[in-house]
Amino acid sequence: MSNVLLSHLAEIDLEEIWIFVATADSISADSVLDEIAQESEILALQPLMGRSRPDLLPKLRWWPSSTSYAIYYLPEPHGITVVRVLHQSMFIDSKYFDV
């Protein structure tokens, strides 16, 4: 069984994504979060699918979701930890991963 864990920052990201999208359409907001959750489950089964991003954080991987967002995650022995979920158009550097 593969697990998807969310960091505190990822939880905040998902809440902010839902609020932003819901200002136009709450059903679409639900769909975006559902799609991110489904893709995270797939990544938990195949954690090396994403592209490596050690420039941002050691062992960090990146997956361009079919939504407008990217999933940044760490492979774990039994799944993944989603570290951040950020818009794909953003310029991302290591400051987004400071904890």
Q: Alpha-carbon distance 78 to 86, whole Å?
A: 24
pLDDT in tens, the chain (99 residues): 689 999 999 999 999 999 999 999 999 999 999 999 999 999 999 999 999 999 999 999 999 999 999 999 999 999 999 999 999 999 999 999 976
- CA-closest candidate to residue 39, choices 82, 9, 1, 10: 82
Instruction: Confirm if 85 and 6 have CB atoms less than 8 A apart.
Output: no
The domains of the chain are located at 3-97
- Note the pTM of the prediction, 2 decimals: 0.95
- CATH number (3.30.390.50, 3.40.50.2000, 3.40.630.30, 3.30.2310.20) of 3-97 reads 3.30.2310.20
